[in-house]
Structure 1
Amino acid sequence: MSEPEILLISLSPIHRDSRVLRQLSVVAEFGRVTTVGYGPAPDGASEHIQVPEHLKTLPQDLPGVARLALRRWRSAELAAPAVRWTIRALEGRRFDAVVANEARILALADHVAHGAPVWADMHEWAPEERTHVLSWRLLVAPLMDHLCRVYLPRSTRVTAVGGRIAELYRERYGVSARVMRNSSRWQDLSPSDVLDDEVRLVHSGAAVPGRNLELMIDTVLSLPERFSLDLYLVPANDGGQYMRALTDRAAGVSRVNFHEPVPPAELPSTLNQYDLGVFWIEPFNTNARLTLPNKLFDFVQGRLGVAVGPSEEMEPIVRGHGLGPVSEGFTVAECAASLESITAEDLRRWKAASDDASRELSFEHDAEVAREIMRAMLAS
């Protein structure tokens, strides 16, 4: 009997997309996987169809924008250049199951599935992905809502990164969404030594405008000399403009250091040399309010303490496991107040708690959700 043929689509650079790489590692246990996305073939793919980098994932040319402005959702569903190219690349192909990442490709996945079961991994809350950008809010958000409303009920399985976002999908679109967190693989690490007169803060992630990474820099600058901050940032698709703004903000300050981004698999061991992973993100939209990001789990696998704000999904995990301090709000003064009295003993206690929680908060738990989904889809 031949292996099942599985199609996994993510219009992202899959080879460095942490969530999709972990997803792929499980999907590959069940058959021969053809991936579709930007960049080179990711580890675990049997075949990779590389989408040309210049092709956009939304209908951004003049006819496409006209479709969005006129609310012609049906004609806009498959209008994005990357989507049209993928349809041509998959012409004549048939698969036993399709894995679709994020709302913008739901219509594409339904189109190329030809009736095969579809797993829609929605990641975050699609209707408000970038609503802080006016053009996105006016033109694209209604399309995302349309795609979810039409295609999520047709999907065999739906997943999201956290419980509150899964509940939003249930409330608005009537689908039973399961939670598959952005957890990291378990790492065989131990907490690193703590220094009595230093607190080594670290943050890793994307340098994306709107996330207010300036807050971390300003907070450290307001703290005593014993606090330092190291940043491992992936530049945004803005030509490095935001990254330059951040480095300019910290220019001449030896306590704030910028580093090249680290591959996802190597990140926990890199983070291990620090004391406290920090991430304060103001609730400027639904996804920011309900964020449960990779970095929190990376911090845990690096055996760090974790410092966050009063974020709805992160705070219960940090408090529940005793991982670190939670600020009262998201101002520089409030974030600094949560850190300024930290002692070496606090850091040792938080890092030990992170070590204790490392297996429970690892991908090994969330991988079983993916396995159950794949078994159900292929059985159907």
Structure 2
Amino acid sequence: MKRKKQIIVSVTNDLVSDNRVHKVCTSLEKMGFSVLLVGRKLKNSQQLNRNYQTHRMRLCFTKGACFYAEYNFRLFLVLLFRKADVLLANDLDALAANYLASKIKRTELVYDSHEYFTEVPELIGRPRVKRIWEWLESKMLPNLNHCYTVCDSIAAVYSEKYGVPFQVVRNIPIGNTTVPKIKKEKREKIILYQGAVNIGRGLEQAIKAMHFIDGAQLVVAGDGDIKDQLEELVHNEKLQEKVHFTGRLSIEELSKLTPTADLGLSIEEDLGLNYRFALPNKLFDYIRAGVPVLASDLPEMKAIVERYAIGAISNSHDPKKLAESIHAALNDEGKRNIWKANLVQSSKELTWENEEKVLKGIFSEFL
């Protein structure tokens, strides 16, 4: 019997809510690989139940330079001493260990860039740290043969910068899953933000906008660096009755929450190229769940929203103007009926099964 090819997939998060990585691993299993997904375990990490192997490392550090150094050192040891035919690194912060291990073991290396890492808002205004990441990137990316990323804009930037072709695999939901049918009785409307609770996501402005919106509540589903600050902001603005935080949710929990929303927010600010070219997972999750979208006037998101006519574009992050956009998107029934009909049609085209074809093209040569 032919031995299954082994692939080790690595990412710096705790695996619980990373839908993109989960879908990639599931696709690789379907292709015939034996998959091991490596991440880290946090104090509050939920249990995992996956159809592939997982390994989560308990680390002493949780952020900053010490975290990245410890993570990559520990990951390097895992990659060095476990059998693998292919390594798949997710994002620049997991690439160093994979790159070194692939050179030592002469193993195939594939790189999945989830974002334009060196242009994330967390590095804007930190030129020394940014230069370190850019230096690491410049030493590794030109030597990679198999790369893909989340949208055309980021692929074009990387290809031009390093002379390496990047393919595109968008983070689109699986098409053959059943979205729960939610009976929406008379209640306050739900404005949903789901995803990382970090700077530049328009969350502070969305919270302040709730002063000008009645008959609706804002639900923030996720966790991140500024969650505590936002909770304090809600308290200071006396908006506890209008804004609610769920904390981090599993993929399964989120799939039940999303269809209950009346409007999904994807209102990233233009803080550097990473957000300018953003094509967030949540945008496609809203589409799959049949939820109209309010998105920022940024090229990749705007192109999807306008091409499929499934929501509106906000031209301002001023809280009062943002509230006007939210109010219109919630209450213009004529437009909402059109959007909902288009959401049904677009969700048939925007499926992971179509994106999976690119993955098969990349990984089939290793089988």
TM range (shorter): 0.7 to 0.9
- The AA in structure 1 aligned to 2:342 is A
> Matches of 1:264 and 1:241 in 2, distance apart?
22
Correspondences of 1:169-184 after superposition (within 5 Å): 169-184=158-173
Query: How much has 1:253 moved relative to structure 2?
Result: 4.9
Q: Which residue of 1 aligns with 2:18?
A: 17
> Matches of 1:25 and 1:37 in 2, distance apart?
16
> Matches of 1:321 and 1:328 in 2, distance apart?
19
- 1:306-357 deviation digits (Å, cap 9, x = unpaired): 1112111101110111111112232224323334343223222212211111
> Matches of 2:303 and 2:320 in 1, distance apart?
22
Q: Which residue of 2 aligns with 1:51?
A: 57
> Matches of 2:57 and 2:318 in 1, distance apart?
42
Residue aligned with 1:219, SS: helix
> Matches of 1:339 and 1:111 in 2, distance apart?
48
Q: Which residue of the other structure, out of 221, 225, 231, is the alignment partner of 2:219? A: 231
> Matches of 2:63 and 2:110 in 1, distance apart?
19
> Matches of 1:250 and 1:347 in 2, distance apart?
30
**Residues 323 and 350, structure 1, Cα contact 8 Å, conserved in 2:** yes
Q: Which residue of 2 aligns with 1:31?
A: 33
**Residues 210 and 239, structure 2, Cα contact 8 Å, conserved in 1:** no
Higher-helix-fraction structure: 2
Query: How much has 1:140 moved relative to structure 2?
Result: 2.6
Correspondences of 1:68-107 after superposition (within 5 Å): 80-107=69-96
Query: How much has 1:55 moved relative to structure 2?
Result: 4.0
Change in Cα spacing, 1:133 to 1:233, as seen in structure 2 (3 Å) is: farther
Change in Cα spacing, 1:263 to 1:94, as seen in structure 2 (3 Å) is: closer
Q: Which residue of the other structure, out of 252, 265, 272, is the alignment partner of 1:278? A: 265
Q: Which residue of the other structure, out of 216, 219, 234, is the alignment partner of 2:209? A: 219
Task: Give the TM-score normalised by the residue count of structure 1.
Answer: 0.84
Correspondences of 1:288-307 after superposition (within 5 Å): 288-307=275-294
- 1:160-185 deviation digits (Å, cap 9, x = unpaired): 11110111101111111111112222
Residue aligned with 1:283, SS: coil
Change in Cα spacing, 1:345 to 1:97, as seen in structure 2 (3 Å) is: same
Query: How much has 1:15 moved relative to structure 2?
Result: 2.9
Which moved further from structure 2: 151-160 or 119-128? 151-160
Q: CA RMSD in A?
A: 2.6
Residue aligned with 1:50, SS: strand
Q: Which residue of 2 aligns with 1:118?
A: 109
Change in Cα spacing, 1:44 to 1:24, as seen in structure 2 (3 Å) is: same
Change in Cα spacing, 1:18 to 1:222, as seen in structure 2 (3 Å) is: same
Identity %: 22
Correspondences of 1:332-343 after superposition (within 5 Å): 332-341=319-328, 342-343=331-332
> Matches of 2:13 and 2:148 in 1, distance apart?
18
Q: Which residue of 2 aligns with 1:66?
A: none
> Matches of 2:306 and 2:181 in 1, distance apart?
19
Q: Which residue of 2 aligns with 1:162?
A: 151
> Matches of 1:55 and 1:98 in 2, distance apart?
24
**Residues 190 and 219, structure 2, Cα contact 8 Å, conserved in 1:** no
Aligned length in residues: 355
Query: How much has 1:203 moved relative to structure 2?
Result: 1.5
Residue aligned with 1:235, SS: coil
> Matches of 2:183 and 2:340 in 1, distance apart?
10
Change in Cα spacing, 1:219 to 1:89, as seen in structure 2 (3 Å) is: same
- The AA in structure 2 aligned to 1:235 is D
Query: How much has 1:252 moved relative to structure 2?
Result: 4.5
Q: Which residue of 1 aligns with 2:191?
A: 201
Q: Which residue of 2 aligns with 1:331?
A: 318
Task: Give the TM-score normalised by the residue count of structure 2.
Answer: 0.87
Query: How much has 1:132 moved relative to structure 2?
Result: 4.8
Q: Which residue of 1 aligns with 2:44?
A: none
- 1:189-214 deviation digits (Å, cap 9, x = unpaired): 37757789965322112222343302
> Matches of 2:135 and 2:194 in 1, distance apart?
34
Residue aligned with 1:262, SS: coil
Which moved further from structure 2: 185-194 or 271-280? 185-194
Query: How much has 1:123 moved relative to structure 2?
Result: 0.9
Query: How much has 1:93 moved relative to structure 2?
Result: 3.4
Residue aligned with 1:206, SS: coil
Query: How much has 1:57 moved relative to structure 2?
Result: 7.3
- The AA in structure 2 aligned to 1:236 is G
> Matches of 2:112 and 2:291 in 1, distance apart?
29
**Residues 121 and 200, structure 2, Cα contact 8 Å, conserved in 1:** no
- The AA in structure 1 aligned to 2:205 is L
Residue aligned with 2:192, SS: strand
- 1:91-140 deviation digits (Å, cap 9, x = unpaired): 34342111011112323112222222211001111221245554xx3233
- 1:277-314 deviation digits (Å, cap 9, x = unpaired): 12212101111111111111111111111111211110
Change in Cα spacing, 1:249 to 1:345, as seen in structure 2 (3 Å) is: farther
Query: How much has 1:260 moved relative to structure 2?
Result: 4.2
**Residues 161 and 292, structure 1, Cα contact 8 Å, conserved in 2:** yes
**Residues 222 and 246, structure 2, Cα contact 8 Å, conserved in 1:** no
